[in-house]
Amino acid sequence: MILSLSVLSYLLISWFVIQSVEVVGDSMYPTLINTGHYWLERYSYLVSEPRQDDIVAVRDPQDKMLLVKRIIAVPGQSVCLKNGRVYIDGRLLHEPYLLPGTPTYAYDKNGNEFVSYGDRYFVMGDNRNNSMDSRVFGAVSRQDILGKVVE
């Protein structure tokens, strides 16, 4: 009985409240470090929506791996990558978390404007030259955002 309650408590806490997550790779450098351990806080997104600038764990739409990225645009916002800079709804995005002089370019040759629509969120890593993110796999759905990453 006690073992069953312990297992149930662990599952409820890890699926609905908080769990540990390890960052693999340098895509969030300098904000988060490779092999760093952080908390994935799930509860806040059960009662509210993710917001721009939140660092989140998302399920990669292509291979379902866990990725840690920053929300750049929320549903309904347009994203334009132009001359190494990010514009949201036509306004330059202030990004104090990037290393000085870090450019942001689109990876594809088809253009550099994206629109977050429906329940889609545009996410990118802080290490823009070493990040597989929405520039590769497109905006992610709300269901693919697992929670907020906190230290």
Which sequence positions are flagged as catalytic? Answer: 27, 69
Sequence-ordered list of residues with C-beta below 8 angstroms from that of 60, at least 6 positions apart, any chain: 66, 67, 132, 137
DSSP bridge partners of 145: 58
In contact, 112 and 81? CB cutoff 8 Å: yes
Encoded amino acid at 66, one letter: L
Strand partners for 48: none
DSSP states along 79-147: EEEETTEEEETTEEPP-TTSPTT-----SSSS-SEEE--TTEEEEE-SSGGG--SHHHH-PEEGGGEEE
CA dist., res. 77 & res. 120, Å (int): 10
